[in-house]
Structure 1
Amino acid sequence: MADNDLYMVYHGLLLPKIVHSEESLKYLENFQVKDDDVFAVTYPKSGTTWMQEILPPLLNGGDLTSVETIPNWDRAPWLEETRAALVLDKLPSPRAIVSHMHYHLMPPSFFKSKAKVIYVTRNPKDVIVSSFHFHQMASFLEDPGTFEEFTDKFLSGKVFFAKWTDHVKSWQKPELGDRIMYITYEEMLQDLRGVLSRILKFLGRELSAEALDRVVDHCTFKNMKTNKMSNYTLVPQEFMDNKKSPFLRKGIAGDWKNYFSPELDAKFTAVIQEEMKGSNIRFPWDEE
């Protein structure tokens, strides 16, 4: 089982103690969601940092000041993390908030609100490769072992925020109606401008073509990688060693092909397919 010094358990989820506490989870439970809050919800390593870059300028008329001067964890904080209580109440509305929480663990006020959610999914094979590198460079996560060992942990949910399949299924909620929009990391790579236009429409907002171009350009992976407010180089090396692996590593789709043996690929695919059975969810990468 996971290292108790590093993780706490919350409703069956392993959460890294470095940024989660009893207090932060109480704050989450009692949090008062506003109707104009916008949540980007992801399973870890599926594009959260990207959404923290995208949402603030889309919500404030295309102004890039916040993404150039405020670290991403303060401009679009994680609802469940310890920073939330310090920054969320001071953020001007509409607030951009990110979360890795499963649907049923959202605060009660969320379900009564009109707040919108953008749920980002990424090919789980790329998620696990990204997560593997993250575990190697982050001292607050347990050592992943070999890639094969880490795959077993990932498939059995013995990783932070538990199973990928449970997370994805938990957010497929018809009752959210037009409050939720689903996008994939892969679509963002293929057509960032198109996805940002869809997000604006979903949020009922408009930007001039010129302002949108500016935001799109700023939010390319290449530019984010050099933005110290977004690339985690501000985090002390003893917590995240960017020399072992940069936090923003490649930002591509399909890197999993460099890590999976044919046997591991077959095993991984079979487990995911079995767990997604009956969910009617189809992903662009299912055909690969």
Structure 2
Amino acid sequence: MALDKMEDLSLNPVVSRAKLMEMEGVAVTQPIYSSYDKVRKFKARPDDLLIATYAKAGTTWTQEIVDMIQQNGDVEKCRRDTTYRRHPFLEWNIQEPPSLRYSGLELADAMPSPRTIKTHLPVQLVPPSFWEQNCKVIYVARNAKDNLVSYYHFHKMNKGLPDPGTWEEFVEKFMTGKVVWGSWYDHVKGWWKAKDKHRILYLFYEDMKENPKQEIKKIVKFLEKDMNEELINKILYNTSFEIMKENPMANYTKEFQGVMDHSISPFMRKGVVGDWKNYFTVAQNEKFDEDYKKKMADTSLVFRTEL
């Protein structure tokens, strides 16, 4: 990311839009592309936990649930720092301007064990050391239509991503995988397949919305923790959309000013299932469904687009 203007950078650095590059058939931003060799060589540790998702599929929500479980429901400890510093975003890296510098890789390397790390990488681009060390992974998948809508709004407010263009243009880009982190279809299918070989807890955003308590219990069990009902209820409350939306340590308002413009769209926008109905035209929906059927014909994965 380069600077466009030089005035008043300390308060509000102006960031130019990221460019899209292709890496092993997957679209990524230029900074991810240029640092990927280092990412691939990342040394995972056996007690690392990886939280993997396609972007805007409930990542921050899951991170907050995991942190609350790890900190035994201690709200103050969970507010010790922002989400992206508590859980390094492995492949994300911003070098310019210096005031916004962020390297998930450097943060992770410097962090004491046990670490929780976040990634949006498709399964085939995850550093091999995670598999070699038999690390646990939590993957969250969200239905394509809602994921697309959320990702569109995120592109509009986040200058760290390429310009989304119009809604119509973005729908096309999403369907053809010409968006950062590549094809949604390949992403969810790749991780679904990988769960048969690795220690992966595969969760669905829609299940988390419908019965968050049940899904929290699944995570607690996966992390081999023992928690009573009272503690689970505390986690349930503190990781609700309403509470998290007001939490500066989770809602991305504390850093990255100049990159994220929350006046265009808040980072935590709606957090619902079925919002796609407010955006897709009848024609778009028909075309999308037809394309979806073809792309998802080779998987047992089933998604719900409404509750």
Contact 2:138 2:203 in 1 (8 A): yes
Aligned partner (choices 165, 188, 195) of residue 215 of structure 2 = 195
Report what 1:22 is aligned to.
Answer: 34
Aligned partner (choices 54, 57, 70) of residue 43 of structure 1 = 54
Aligned partner (choices 116, 119, 122) of residue 102 of structure 1 = 122
Contact 1:41 1:101 in 2 (8 A): yes
Corresponding position: 1:172 with 2:192: yes
Aligned partner (choices 258, 261, 264) of residue 284 of structure 2 = 264
User: Which has the larger helix fraction?
Assistant: 1
Aligned partner (choices 76, 98, 105) of residue 65 of structure 1 = 76
Aligned in 2, Cα 1:137/1:87: closer, same or farther, shift over 3 Å? same
Q: Secondary structure at the match of 1:118?
A: strand
Contact 1:15 1:161 in 2 (8 A): yes
Q: How does 1:1-288 map to 2 (within 5 A)?
A: 6-17=19-30, 20=32, 22-23=34-35, 25-82=36-93, 83-173=103-193, 176-177=196-197, 179-285=199-305
Residue range with higher mean Cα deviation, 222-231 or 59-68: 59-68
Contact 1:53 1:219 in 2 (8 A): yes
Counterpart of 2:76, as a letter, is: T
Residue range with higher mean Cα deviation, 221-230 or 273-282: 273-282
- Cα deviation for residue 254 of structure 1 reads 0.5
Task: Tell me the distance in 2 between the aligned counterparts of 1:50 and 1:38.
Answer: 16
Task: Tell me the distance in 2 between the aligned counterparts of 1:178 and 1:154.
Answer: 28
Task: Tell me the distance in 1 between the aligned counterparts of 2:37 and 2:189.
Answer: 25
Counterpart of 1:51, as a letter, is: T
Q: Secondary structure at the match of 2:118?
A: strand
Task: Tell me the distance in 2 between the aligned counterparts of 1:77 and 1:197.
Answer: 24
Counterpart of 1:75, as a letter, is: R
Task: Tell me the distance in 1 between the aligned counterparts of 2:197 and 2:215.
Answer: 19
Residue range with higher mean Cα deviation, 238-247 or 141-150: 141-150
Q: Secondary structure at the match of 1:173?
A: helix
Q: Cα deviation per residue 1:110-134 (whole Å; 9 max; x = unaligned)?
A: 2212211111111110011111111
Counterpart of 1:63, as a letter, is: D
Q: Would you identify which runs of 4 or more consecutive aligned residues in structure 1 move more than 4 Å?
A: 174-178
Over the residues paired in the alignment, what is the CA RMSD in angstroms? 2.1
Q: Secondary structure at the match of 1:222?
A: helix
Task: Tell me the distance in 2 between the aligned counterparts of 1:226 and 1:4.
Answer: 27
Q: Cα deviation per residue 1:30-52 (whole Å; 9 max; x = unaligned)?
A: 11212221111111110111122
Task: Tell me the distance in 2 between the aligned counterparts of 1:10 and 1:21.
Answer: 7
- Cα deviation for residue 178 of structure 1 reads 6.1
Counterpart of 1:59, as a letter, is: Q
> Normalized against structure 1, the TM-score is what?
0.91
Q: Secondary structure at the match of 2:79?
A: helix
Contact 1:46 1:121 in 2 (8 A): yes
Tell me how many residue pairs correspond in the alignment.
283
